[in-house]
Amino acid sequence: MKPEDKEMQLDIIRRQLGLSEAGEELSDLFDGLLASALMHSNRTSTPDALLKLVRDAVCAAWRRRGDEGSTGSTAGGQSYTYEDIEATLHKNIVAAGLRVLRL
């Protein structure tokens, strides 16, 4: 992915999260989930639909910071159950028909 394309994706994610700056942490999170998505989908290029799934996964992972490894939490009378973000990403890739079968 070209640096300017990556920066455009990070800008979209920052807007979704309401962040003005997020530094390298958000970029590293995006890189890791994008690599996982490309590997699981057996692709070398990134169609727009795949980028949308990666952006959603990055937002979910960013919001969950500090609770890594937890399966749930309760705060202020609200109960939260977490799902595995990478497993959900992989499931969504298959459900969206973005996986290319290898021969």
- Give residue-wise pLDDT tens across range 17-33: 999 887 799 999 999 99
Classified as helix, coil or strand, 103 is: coil
3-state secondary structure 10-51: HHHHHHHHCCCCCHHHHHHHHHHHHHHHHHHHCCCCCCHHHH
Six-digit token string for 59: 């937002």
Checking if the pLDDT of 44 tops 80, the result is yes
Is the pLDDT at 79 greater than 80, yes or no?
no
Q: In the structure encoding, which two tokens stand for residue 23, read together?
A: 């530094």
- Mean pLDDT confidence for 35-46: 96
CB 85 within 8 A of CB 64: yes
| Amino acid 51: pLDDT | 97
Q: Is 73 in a helix, a strand, or coil? A: strand
pTM: 0.86
